[in-house]
């Protein structure tokens, strides 16, 4: 059994790994978080009466995740795209190694923040977490923000219009106000890369791994962590700091998003950057190019004296935020003008195709989830017959699947996709066309240089010529459309053709 005690300023954190593959994060102040391959259980108890306790369970099992390539990485984690098999939803999976001592506290802080703020406006949604014994990693499942970050938007547009920024930062301030006023947390890493948005136009704050908890509004932090580029003067001086440090970072992020330029020289090393922040006057936008309200908001956030900066609550009533409320800025239209939803869906075509065939050729205990890939208006066509609705389609596909499996499941026919094409279809949908061969095997394989799911071999790893093993060919076409939830997709139309099947 593995047991470690990490001494912190306000509490003691224990990490215990049981023989049964369960990780326990035990915090004297915040309760117990139990992780295993099936998900996360949060147990809390009253400080007054230990008999008063509560439990919250997040069902998010490792075997129900199909993991794909990395979409980003930070100092403490790697973020990958994944599909949650039961609901076919694309998620962002943040992986943290619990055996790296400096990352354990970041893990607990992130889990605490996400568990206690489910679906709060302005903060990224939490879907659960699980432990993988083989890798020693805990994976945190977050909503997949398919519009990317404000940093991604700046790479395309160079600068963001004031009305859009007003609406964006109104939502982000609501999330920051909650972190400060309700959760008593200093985020400590506010920057454009950690301010995300989805294609529905919902901006959200992410990455709470280095957040610091303050017991009351007068408490102060005293640690030097975070991105130096957006760090406030008091943090650079290694003074105690509090919520105003986030306000400084927010002001710099807004300055960069509005002007298209970071106001300091950041390419001459961190020491030079820190000296600029400490010694130079606070930057202000060109008043001839920007509204008085925008300049006033920036000036308020970038006060050198932290006590002079307004709170997140106060900034919610700032004229820059209230000025554009009546305009009802359509953030979804703005984001979709930057990142075409159809192109975004085309980028996911490999993932969705692998997901479907992995279900079809995979284990029986997961196959029943395929039914929810369809709606009641979905249509599946095969051998001259048309099936409509999820029940009919699932029944027809199950019959085909059983035929391909035959009497000897160990010698079933599985798909090898040799060509994959994708093109737009209608408003926001795509057509995926898969062409390939059937071979005798026990798992699905895909060719080419496209994205590949973890645990599945690539076409290059086959070690044999497909033609020599081919027992039939298939061609299949899917029309994929977006569901009501971000990252959720369904098959609106599907056509299957099988030829030369021995």
Catalytic residues, which ones? 189
CA distances from 153 to 45, 130, 204, 249, 339 (A): 43, 32, 14, 18, 8
Token output for 440: 């005798």
Q: What whole-number distance in Å separates Cα of residue 267 and Cα of residue 280? A: 16
DSSP 166-229: HHHHHHHHHHHHHHHHTS-EE----SGGGEEE-TTS-EEE---TT-EE-SSTT--B----S-GG
- CA distances to 399, 448, 461 from 420, rounded to whole Å, are 25, 9, 18
Helix, strand, coil percent content, the chain, rounded in steps of 5: 35, 30, 35
Region of 121 (left: φ > 0; alpha: ψ -120 to 50; beta: rest) is beta
- Is 94 assigned a ligand-binding role in the annotation? yes
What distance in Å separates the CA atoms of residue 347 and residue 342, rounded to the nearest whole number?
A: 9
- Backbone φ, ψ for residue 279 (5° rounding): -100, -30
3 state DSSP class of 18? coil
> Which residue ranges are tagged as binding site?
94
Q: Which residues are annotated as a binding site for ATP?
A: 94
């Amino acid at each position: 059994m593995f047991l470690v005690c990490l001494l912190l300023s306000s509490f003691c954190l224990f990490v215990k790994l049981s023989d049964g593959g369960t990780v326990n994060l035990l915090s004297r102040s915040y309760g117990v978080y139990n992780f295993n391959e099936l998900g996360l259980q949060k147990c809390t108890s009253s400080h007054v009466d230990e008999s008063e306790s509560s439990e919250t369970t997040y069902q998010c099992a490792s075997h129900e995740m199909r993991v794909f390539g990395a979409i980003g990485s930070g100092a403490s984690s790697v973020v990958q795209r994944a599909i949650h098999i039961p609901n076919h939803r694309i998620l962002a999976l943040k992986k943290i190694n619990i055996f790296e001592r400096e990352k354990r506290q970041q893990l607990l802080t992130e889990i605490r923040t996400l568990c206690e703020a489910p679906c709060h406006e302005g903060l990224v949604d939490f879907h659960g977490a699980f432990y993988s014994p083989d890798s020693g990693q805990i994976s945190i499942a977050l909503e997949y923000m398919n519009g990317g970050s404000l940093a991604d938007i700046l790479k395309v547009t160079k600068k963001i219009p004031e009305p859009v920024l007003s609406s964006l930062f109104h939502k982000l301030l609501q999330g920051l106000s909650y972190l400060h006023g309700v959760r008593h947390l200093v985020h400590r890493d506010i920057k454009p890369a950690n301010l995300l948005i989805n294609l529905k136009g919902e901006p959200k704050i992410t990455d709470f791994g280095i957040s610091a908890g303050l017991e009351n509004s007068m408490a102060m932090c005293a640690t030097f962590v975070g991105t130096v580029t957006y760090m406030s003067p008091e943090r650079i001086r290694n003074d105690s700091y509090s919520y105003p440090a986030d306000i400084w970072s927010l002001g710099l992020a807004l300055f960069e998003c509005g002007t298209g330029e970071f106001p300091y020289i950041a390419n001459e090393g961190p020491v030079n950057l820190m000296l600029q922040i400490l010694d130079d006057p606070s930057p202000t936008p060109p008043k001839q190019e920007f509204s008085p309200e925008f300049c006033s908001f920036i000036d308020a956030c970038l006060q050198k004296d932290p006590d002079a900066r307004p709170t997140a609550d106060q900034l919610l009533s700032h004229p820059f935020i209230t000025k554009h409320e009546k305009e009802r800025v359509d953030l979804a239209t703005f984001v979709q003008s930057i990142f075409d939803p159809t192109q975004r869906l085309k980028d996911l075509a490999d993932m969705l195709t692998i997901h479907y065939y992995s279900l079809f050729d995979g284990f029986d205990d997961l196959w029943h989830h395929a039914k929810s890939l369809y709606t009641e208006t979905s249509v599946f066509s095969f051998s001259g017959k048309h099936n409509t609705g999820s029940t009919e389609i699932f029944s027809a596909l199950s019959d085909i699947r059983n035929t391909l499996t035959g009497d000897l499941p160990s010698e079933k026919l599985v798909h090898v996709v040799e060509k994959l094409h994708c093109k737009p279809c209608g408003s926001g949908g795509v057509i995926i066309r898969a062409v390939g061969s059937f071979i005798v095997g026990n798992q699905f394989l895909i060719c080419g240089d496209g994205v590949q799911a973890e645990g599945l071999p690539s076409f290059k790893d086959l070690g044999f010529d497909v033609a020599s093993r081919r027992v039939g060919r298939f061609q299949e076409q899917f029309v994929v459309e977006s569901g009501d939830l971000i990252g959720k997709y369904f098959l609106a139309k599907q056509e299957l053709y099988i030829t030369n099947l021995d």
